[in-house]
Structure 1
Amino acid sequence: SMVLGEPQILGQMKQAFSTAHQAGTTGKILNRLFQQTFKVAKQVRTDTTIGANPVSVAFAAVDLARHIFTQLSEQTVLLIGAGETNELVARHLVENGVERMMVANRSLERAKSLAARVACEAITLDEMPSRLAQADIVVTSTASRVPILGKGAMESALRARRHRPMFIIDLAVPRDVEPEVANLKDVFLYTVDDLENIVSANRASRQEAAAEAAKIIDLQVVRFMQWLQALDSEPTIRALRSKI
């Protein structure tokens, strides 16, 4: 993986080991090796901060939302764009308890495809302005060359919401949201540049944690090699005992 400390890799290893173990292809040494690997991975997660801070823009967006809203499960989310970035955002949102979510896209079929994978509602971009007021959180990531969310639409949505605040994350390059939207009183607008700054700082933090993790791993490698050497000595020890 290109992402330092990514937990999905451990999950893939566990699945691979489980498949091999069920097929009877692992044996005593591999069984011990993988079990110790999983134990060390848990220790690294517990004793270091390697997984504490998000290092992907999609996860950073959701992490920022979690800090603004105490209960994401109580918020309604509108995703504008049905590409890979918003799919990652959607999956992180679902993992954090979001239940009310809409995805708007120029192609309704693509919106429906993503909606089916993350269990949410699909709408067209033409429907988006009339549904905007329902959203507490808006995450937009399209390939549009011009902004698709303007100040006028936001002002209308805020009036309909009786000026309850809206949290907007614009992950698009170029921007999906007109810059003037940031000046609206009840809007909290963050761009991909804001999140990149957060991610860069978090990457540096993970590098420091990786050094701590390496010390834990090195110690456990020594212990595994000691066990392996002792295993090699077992036939000799048994032979000596049989002669006593």
Structure 2
Amino acid sequence: MQLLTVGLNHSTAPLAVRERVAFLADDVGATIRRLRERLNEPAGGGVSEAAIVSTCNRTELYCAAEEPDLAQRALHEFVASEKRLDLDELHRHSYVLPHVDAVRHAFRVASGLDSMVLGEPQILGQMKEAEKLARSAGGLGLMLNHLFQRTFAVAKEVRTTTEIGTQSVSMAAAAVRVARKIFGELSGSHV
């Protein structure tokens, strides 16, 4: 059994593609169940565990699979089918991260190191929500449970032992900061 991440984010895909690939929180549980039903067989790479992290800036599928090469192909086909996307377009904008690279990536994402705004704290909460949804849908087994618990511990350690979070802001807060630099005081402004 090996860990595998297939995804796309703000660095690999334009907003229009990210919007089309995003999964609504209300749909994630059913999607995980369908994914495991279809891919937990030899032709699907033997995907037995699955979690989906889907935000405005990324959609990532974290999986445990018997045959990672078959699984990554099956995961692409699954997402393309679910989202009615051209498979070639999905391949152009996505990445595949095997085992250790998937772990390293999860650590970077949860710590805010892979965010559009460096150090933004919201992603950790979003990953915790993804873990909770996957657990409720029966998508977590030993491997993904361990990945998420270590990921949350690493993110906490990064935040407490470095200054990554001292200047972090959300995208909205960054936009307000830029607007203040351009327009000055905004308290009397109306949108």
- Give the TM-score normalised by structure 1: 0.25
Higher relative contact order (CA 8 A, sep 6+): 2
Counting helix residues as a fraction of each chain, which structure ranks higher? 1
- Give the TM-score normalised by structure 2: 0.32
Radius of gyration: which is bigger? 1
